[in-house]
């Protein structure tokens, strides 16, 4: 039986200091493709992209996206049987609940479905909300058809789905030109104007204490190389893209697969970056040279900590710090810009060790860095450890939510914020040419007072 399904990316709330990004919602794109392929009538509403310039400021947070009235109007117009709502991170739960409430105010018979990282981690909590009919745990592609076809109820536990069987995202249902116009992808310092998000692998084989990816996304999988390259070629021909924003959590685990992919990207000829973080342990000179030849201009290295004890005993990160310097040397030689991620504020980490992350970043010569406070995301092991004293909607990369033996909450926040500002602004002295290329050129391409205010805080 054919159903009408509306898929909604809710408005987005963030701290006032954070960058306002706008990414194509790949998860909803995949769901839309699965539904269309099965013959259902689908409408997609990305409140973030369509309402990017509509900002509500409560003094501590910014929320941007379509207004409640506009969301209500869309639901009234389409008259869906089901509305699926994405809840990628825990701080967006209240926006998702508000959308569910709007839907039920339009028509109580419309059934609401929520899915994403947070529902997968705390399904019972979400299902307690009277405006939520279905909560999807795991891959939405495996659940959406069973729900729409009437074979599920309540909390839906889904099996892992082979990524090779999933159709490409239904981008034609989304305002693609709007994403290009806004041009705020994962790497806001992208030198290109038509940047498209793509995912070539799913999940991660590692088990870092602060990550919830494996619970939400299942085991690590790679898509067939040929299928990935066909999608890239399609994006280039259909949407005239000049850059790929590769959002994979761990692109380079399978070396043979990665090398085949890079050789194919080299033939297609588009720029790319993996701004979400890449595993240093999988990099060597041969791969880095091929990355450069295939269009890579920037990598973000997931360092996490400069203290081996924290890496091994606390984070459980498979990284040897002595591997970092050779990677940096090769990237500098061939011209790949390097950003680095650090996670600070573990109770087991001393103030001196936090400050050493700054010194390590300076010693390595990264162009820029993000020093983030440990964020206990629901679904992660560190959340399970501290959940008795946490409110899930309070966790934030800029806020201290786990007590530290040396530093108070405000002191921790000031320390880490200062590390971000000092390190990123100091590029003007460390590498004036790169400073102009990265920051000044970005401001000229995207003139915005808000961007200027936030540009050194973190990437």
pLDDT tens by residue, the chain, 459 residues:
899 999 999 999 988 777 888 999 999 999 999 999 999 999 999 999 999 999 998 877 889 999 999 999 999 999 999 999 999 888 899 999 999 999 999 999 999 999 998 898 899 999 999 999 999 998 899 899 999 999 988 999 888 889 999 999 999 999 999 999 999 999 888 899 999 999 999 988 888 988 887 767 778 999 999 999 999 999 999 999 999 999 998 899 999 999 999 999 999 999 999 988 899 999 999 999 999 999 999 999 999 999 999 999 999 999 999 999 999 999 999 999 999 999 999 999 999 999 999 999 999 999 999 999 998 888 888 888 888 776 655 555 567 888 899 999 999 999 999 999 999 999 999 999 888 888 887 777 776 656 666 666 654
Give Cα separations from 232 to 85, 227, 290 (angstroms): 27, 9, 17
Question: At CB < 8 A and 24+ separation, what contacts does 171-177 make?
Answer: 171/24, 171/29, 171/239, 173/29, 173/32, 173/36, 173/42, 173/43, 173/44, 174/24, 174/25, 174/28, 174/29, 174/44, 174/46, 174/49, 175/46, 175/49, 175/50, 176/24, 176/239
Q: How many Å apart are CA 88 and CA 283, to the nearest integer? A: 29
Q: How many Å apart are CA 424 and CA 342, to the nearest integer? A: 14
Residue in this structure with the two tokens 């018979």, named with its chain if needed: 109
Angle between helices 285-293 and 324-334 in degrees, nearest 10: 30
Domains in the chain: boundaries = 4-164, 185-454
- Using CB atoms within 10 A of its CB, is residue 17 exposed (0-12), middle (13-18) or buried (19+)? middle
Residue in this structure with the two tokens 């999933």, named with its chain if needed: 166
Options 3.40.190.290, 3.90.79.10, 3.30.70.980, 3.40.50.2300; CATH for 4-164 is 3.40.50.2300
Q: How many Å apart are CA 314 and CA 66, to the nearest integer? A: 41
Structure tokens belonging to residue 263: 């050789």
Write the CATH number of the domain with boundaries 185-454: 3.80.30.20
Which residues lie closer than 8 Å to 253 by C-beta, 6 or more apart? Answer: 201, 204, 205, 220, 279, 282
Specify whether the CB–CB gap between 443 and 403 falls below 8 A: no
| C-beta atoms surrounding 296 within 10 Å | 23
Q: Rounded to the nearest 5 degrees, what angle is found at the Cα of 194, between the Cα atoms of 189 and 197?
A: 80
């Amino acid at each position: 039986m054919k159903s009408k399904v509306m898929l909604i990316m809710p408005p987005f709330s963030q701290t006032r200091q954070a960058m306002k990004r706008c990414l194509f919602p790949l998860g909803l794109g995949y769901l839309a493709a699965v539904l269309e392929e099965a013959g259902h009538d689908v409408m997609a509403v990305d409140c973030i992209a369509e309402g990017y310039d509509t900002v509500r400021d409560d003094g501590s947070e910014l929320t941007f996206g379509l207004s409640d009235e506009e969301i209500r109007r869309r639901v009234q117009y389409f008259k869906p049987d089901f509305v699926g709502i994405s809840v990628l991170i825990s701080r967006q739960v209240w926006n998702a609940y508000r959308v569910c409430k709007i839907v039920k105010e339009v028509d109580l018979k419309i059934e609401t479905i929520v899915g994403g990282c947070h529902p997968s981690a705390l399904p019972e909590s979400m299902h307690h909300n009277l405006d939520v009919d279905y909560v999807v745990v795991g891959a939405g592609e495996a659940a959406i058809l069973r729900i729409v076809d009437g074979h599920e109820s309540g909390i839906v536990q889904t099996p892992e789905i082979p990524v090779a069987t999933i159709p490409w995202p239904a981008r034609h249902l989304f305002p693609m030109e709007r994403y290009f116009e806004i041009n705020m992808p994962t790497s806001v310092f992208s030198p290109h104007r038509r940047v498209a998000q793509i995912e070539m692998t799913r999940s991660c084989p590692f088990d870092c204490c602060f990550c919830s990816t494996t619970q939400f996304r299942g085991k690590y999988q790679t898509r067939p190389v040929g299928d990935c390259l066909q999608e890239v070629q399609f994006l280039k021909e259909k949407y005239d893209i000049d850059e790929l924003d590769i959002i994979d959590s761990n692109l380079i685990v399978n070396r043979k697969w990665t090398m085949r992919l890079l050789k194919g990207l080299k033939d297609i000829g588009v720029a790319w970056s993996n701004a979400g973080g890449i595993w240093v342990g999988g990099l060597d000179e041969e791969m880095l040279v091929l990355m450069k030849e295939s269009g890579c201009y920037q990598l973000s290295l997931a360092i996490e900590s400069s203290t081996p004890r924290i890496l091994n005993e606390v984070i459980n990160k498979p990284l040897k710090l002595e591997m970092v310097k050779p990677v940096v040397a090769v990237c500098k030689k061939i011209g790949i810009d390097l950003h680095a991620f650090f996670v600070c504020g573990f109770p087991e980490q001393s103030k001196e060790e936090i400050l050493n992350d700054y010194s390590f970043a300076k010693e390595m010569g990264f162009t820029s860095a993000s020093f983030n406070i440990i964020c206990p995301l629901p679904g992660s092991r560190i959340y399970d450890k501290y959940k008795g004293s946490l409110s899930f909607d309070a966790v934030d990369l800029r806020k201290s939510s786990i007590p530290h033996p040396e530093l108070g909450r405000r002191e921790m926040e000031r320390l880490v914020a200062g590390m971000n500002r000092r390190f990123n602004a100091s590029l003007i002295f460390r590498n004036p040419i790169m400073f102009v290329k990265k920051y000044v050129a970005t401001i000229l391409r995207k003139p915005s007072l808000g961007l200027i205010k936030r540009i050194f805080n973190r990437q």
